[in-house]
Amino acid sequence: KIDAFIFDLDGVITDTAEYHYLAWKALAEELDIPFDRAFNEQLKGVSRTDSLELILERGNKQQDYSDVQKEQFASKKNEHYVTLIEQISPQDILPGIKELIDDIKKEGIAIGLASASKNALSVLESLGLRESFDTIVDAGKVAQGKPHPEIFLTAAEQLHVDPAHCIGVEDAASGVTAIKGAGMFAVAVGDGSILSHADYIVHSTDQLDFQTIIRLYKEY
Ligand code: BG6
Ligand code: MG
């Protein structure tokens, strides 16, 4: 029995993971800290402040800045990110996502969002998807970020469903860990070598097929 699908936002519903990457890369380079896509994988799903700490740690510069300076860096990254997402429209919904949401709805299954981003609501609204979600849990509503399961458990609780009857969809290693920690079936989109702890992995969102996911969940 499946009660709910709980989706991550950035990198699953839309390609904002790329914008987070570009904005962090610009800040890191300004601070003379090397930044590449492999390192960026560690930042996916991770909160704004924790991401900044990981970047500074990588450059051995954690002790070089005051809390006030760190807040300024985080704000600068966010201002850049916000300019990058200004133009987002329903055309930016990743391939296959709309179809998947429609199939889930047709079956009367609930849909939740579990996003670590404080910009989640604004992105969903730009995509015209606000109404497709029965509940939205974002960074403001949980104490512990991914990989802690709290955000997925909170979404299940708000939907009044058993986590064991939920399917989580993620593109981040930290997110897959959170889904598994919540006792849910984990579907991952992306690189199998990074997301190998998921129950089912696809390379891109256009491979997310409702019937296939349901079949694998039942066999699980
Ligand atoms: C997650 C992204 O969804 O949100 C991370 O995967 C990002 O890359 C995090 O750092 C926090 O986002 P924001 O918009 O609150 O800075
Ligand atoms: Mg993501």
What is the Cα–Cα distance from 188 to 174, expressed in whole angstroms? 11
Q: Mean pLDDT across the stretch 182-195?
A: 98
The residues that bridge with 186 in the sheet, in sequence order, are 168
Cis peptide before 34 (omega within 30 of 0): no
Tens of pLDDT, residue by residue over 104-156, are: 999 999 999 999 999 999 999 999 999 999 999 999 999 999 999 999 999 99
Tens of pLDDT, residue by residue over 54-112, are: 999 999 999 999 999 999 999 999 999 999 999 999 999 999 999 999 999 999 999 99
Task: Tell me which residues have their CB within 5 A of the ion that is ligand 2.
Answer: 8, 10-11, 171-172
17 CA → ligand 2 middle, Å: 6
* Catalytic residue IDs: 8, 10
Q: What is the ipTM of this complex?
A: 0.99
Tell me, what's the pLDDT at 193?
96
* 120-127 and 67-85 helices, crossing angle to 10°: 0
Ligand at shortest distance from the CA of 120: 1
Q: Mean pLDDT across the stretch 212-217?
A: 98
Q: Mean pLDDT across the stretch 170-180?
A: 98
46 pocket-lining for ligand 1 (C-beta < 6 Å): yes
Q: What average pLDDT does the chain have?
A: 97
